[in-house]
């Protein structure tokens, strides 16, 4: 219970931020639930199982755990993008004071648009060049791929109880079909070469 109480203690501040309209706090709230999971239920999901459904239970636990970790990484990455957008908006707001009092003309709108995309481009360029963005995007992609891996393995295992072929079965079928097509293509090429050779010999044997 200690990890849960420790994380839940942050909820009042997050709820206040949400009430003030801070959208990033919603992502922080999801992060708390994910943290609670990893500190409590997560290790239990990774524990070995017993009985007839041992493999199935372990794969279910691994899949749920992988999803929770992927969701945590995704929320952190989304928070980073959100905060960058807020930072860019604040810069645009600070520099927009130069347009105060000016007449609304096409040139004014064009200048403001140029200011808007220039500031956003510079802000997001700094983000994309940072180590934080690289590490967090790598973490999200890695955990997403691991989640996909466990989803595929769980699906294949569940399909064993049915007459429906799984992903591995279909991959083997596709591979066999591809190899067969390649073999047929090679055989056709050999036959064409032989026909050309036989035709050439026949033309040489014909009397003049």
Instruction: Please give the average per-residue pLDDT across 112-137, as a whole number.
Output: 89
Tell me what pLDDT residue 122 has.
92
Q: Buried (b) or exposed (e) across 43-79, using 16+ Cβ within 10 A?
A: eebeeeeeeeeeebbbbbbbbbbbbbbbbbbbbbbbb
Instruction: Please give the average per-residue pLDDT across 77-91, as a whole number.
Output: 87
- pLDDT at residue 96 greater than cutoff 80: yes
Question: For the chain, what is the mean pLDDT?
Answer: 79
* Region of poorest pLDDT, from 85-89, 108-112, 198-202: 198-202
- pLDDT at residue 24 greater than cutoff 60: no
Q: Which residues contact 30 (CB under 8 A, 6 or more apart)?
A: 71, 75
Q: Are 79 and 24 in contact (CB under 8 A)?
A: yes
Tell me what pLDDT residue 141 has.
93
Burial class (CB in 10 A: 0-12, 13-18, 19+), 155: middle
Instruction: Please give the average per-residue pLDDT across 193-202, as a whole number.
Output: 75
Helix boundaries (H) for 96-130: 106-128
- pLDDT at residue 180 greater than cutoff 90: yes
Tell me what pLDDT residue 31 has.
63
End-to-end CA distance of the chain: 102
Tell me what pLDDT residue 192 has.
85
């Amino acid at each position: 219970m200690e990890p849960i109480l420790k994380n839940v203690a942050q909820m009042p501040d997050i709820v206040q931020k949400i009430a003030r309209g801070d959208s990033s706090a919603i992502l922080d709230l999801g992060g708390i639930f994910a943290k609670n999971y990893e500190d409590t239920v997560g290790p239990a999901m990774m524990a070995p199982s017993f009985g007839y459904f041992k493999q199935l239970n372990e794969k279910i636990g691994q899949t749920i755990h992988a999803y929770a970790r992927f969701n945590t990484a995704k929320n952190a990455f989304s928070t980073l993008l959100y905060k960058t957008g807020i930072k860019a908006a604040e810069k645009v707001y600070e520099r927009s004071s130069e347009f105060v009092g000016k007449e609304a003309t096409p040139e004014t709108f064009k200048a403001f648009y140029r200011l808007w995309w220039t500031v956003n481009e510079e802000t997001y360029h700094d983000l994309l060049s940072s180590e934080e963005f690289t590490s967090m995007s790598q973490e999200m992609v890695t955990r997403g791929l691991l989640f996909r891996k466990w989803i595929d393995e769980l699906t294949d295992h569940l399909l064993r109880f049915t007459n429906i072929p799984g992903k591995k079965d279909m991959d083997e079928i596709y591979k066999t079909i591809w190899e067969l097509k390649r073999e047929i293509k090679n055989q056709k090429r050999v036959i064409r070469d032989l026909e050309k050779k036989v035709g050439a010999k026949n033309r040489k044997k014909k009397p003049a």
